[in-house]
Amino acid sequence: MTSIASNLQIDSARLWGTIHETAKFGATPKGGVRRLTLGDEDRQVRDWFKTACEAAGLEVHVDTLGSMFALRKGRDMTKPPVGLGSHLDTQPTGGKFDGVLGTLAALEVVRTLNDAGIETEIPICIVNWTNEEGSRFAPAMMASAAYVGDFTVDDILSRKDADGVAVADALDAIGYRGDSPVGRQRFSSFIELHIEQGPILEAEGKTIGVVDSGQGVLWYDGKITGFESHAGSTPMRLRRNALATLSEIVLAMETIAKKHGPNAVGTIGEAVIAKPSRNVIPGEIAFTVDCRSADAAIMDALDKDLRAAIGEISARRNVEATLDLVWRKPPTHFDPKLVAAVEATAKKLGFSHRRITSGAGHDACNLNTKIPAAMVFVPCKDGVSHNELEDATQADCTAGANVLMHTVLSLAGVAS
Ligand code: GLV
Ligand code: MN
Ligand code: MN
């Protein structure tokens, strides 16, 4: 690498500025962001991103699931590019950094290379993946999953949100059903920068997390059917209460996850009473379950224990309960050579670092099943994410973006 490239630093103020500029698309009163995938705020940030990428000289194309690809040419265009990026959609009460940091740091890397007049040997390509969050349409990370062939494109296009709107219609509504076939844009490798979304780096005073693995995920849709009846006149012993049943299931989930801990977590994040009324005993409830572990055997045990608990609780309470597995993502083991490249870069740049397992799912986890992938983490305040209070320091975001840039340069090579 030439010395100009080896001393290169991203523009910290410019990166920080873009993070805060895009946070206005879906800004919430508490300082967070609500930018559900394929909604109008998502269209606004996508338009902003496309304009910024084109202004940086990138060729932008959009695939049929709306993922955006922005290509910076390299000297050898016969080689697939090094991919970098993340996502710009957020949770309903999300923060300014989850996904945004990785996508805008990728843009910042390109802007920095442009300013320094650096051409890479292999092209590089920034990606904004559609629907990483999975809160409007399930599953999470659906576009990168289709990219690697885990789902068909038609299956994903037909997935519906809670209002019955299909992905295909939501894409058309914001003008982002592109014409590039899913999977056409090839990559030689993929690197994603992200906030940790957990407490480890901050607690240990480390700047960079070298992500070598990621938890597997089990997502379920559940339903409990009891019997609606009068809240005043139905004796306690005759009730078939769906909400009381769910309460026991919620506590059972906690007990099961703790039993398999520390390497297991389990959450019931959504529960909807079918026809809620103050003086009616709840008769029907739909709920979701999210269980995770980095150990495949523990994932199997979580599944077995949860099904057994639901069976026992519902039989005892004389209600019907169903639990449908809607998504199973095995644990991720990132590409050892790429992980070593991230580690070597963090070391070379003089940042404190440690290996870490990702608690959250990421598009890089999907990509890793087909191409070498790795991730760079930076700390976030109090380990909080999926919350409007999510925060990270400018210095840590800058450090992460510099590790991203120099890892990409080590993979793409500087044309001499
Ligand atoms: C994605 O944000 C996840 O649920 O891990
Ligand atoms: Mn994310
Ligand atoms: Mn997220």
Residue-wise pLDDT tens digits, 71-123:
999 999 999 999 999 999 999 999 999 999 999 999 999 999 999 999 999 99
Ligand 1 centroid distance, CA of 292 (Å): 11
313-339 tens-digit pLDDT: 999 999 999 999 999 999 999 999 999
**Tokens coding 161:** 């949100």
**Whole-structure pTM value:** 0.94
Tell me: the pLDDT tens digits for 151-199? Answer: 999 999 999 999 999 999 999 999 999 999 999 999 999 999 999 999 9
Looking from the CA of 208 toward its CB, the CA atoms found within 13 Å total 27
Least distant ligand from the CA of 87: 2
Q: Is 360's C-beta closer than 6 angstroms to any atom of ligand 1?
A: yes
State whether the beta carbon of 212 lies less than 6 angstroms from ligand 1. no
Relative to the alpha carbon of 385, which ligand is closest?
3
CB atoms within 10 A of CB 119: 16
Pocket test residue of 87, 90, 100, 133 for ligand 1, highest count of atoms within 8 A of CB:
133
Burial of 378 (0-12, 13-18, 19+ CB in 10 A): buried
Q: Which of these, 228, 3, 194, lies nearest to 85 by C-alpha position? A: 194
Amino acid (1-letter code) at residue 22: T
∠ CA 25-379-109, nearest 5°, is: 60
Q: Is 133 in the pocket of ligand 1 (CB under 6 A)?
A: yes
CA 164 to chain centre: 23
Q: Is the CB of 341 under 6 A from ligand 1?
A: no
Distance 206 CA to ligand 2 centre (A): 20
Ligand nearest to the CA of 102: 2
Determine the average pLDDT of the residues in 12-24. Answer: 98
pLDDT of residue 139: 93
Is ligand 1 within 6 A of the CB of residue 142? no
At residue 41, φ and ψ (nearest 5 deg) are -65, -35
Give the span between the Cα atoms of 324 and 231, in whole angstroms. Answer: 30
The answer to whether 374 and 76 have CB atoms below 8 angstroms apart is: no
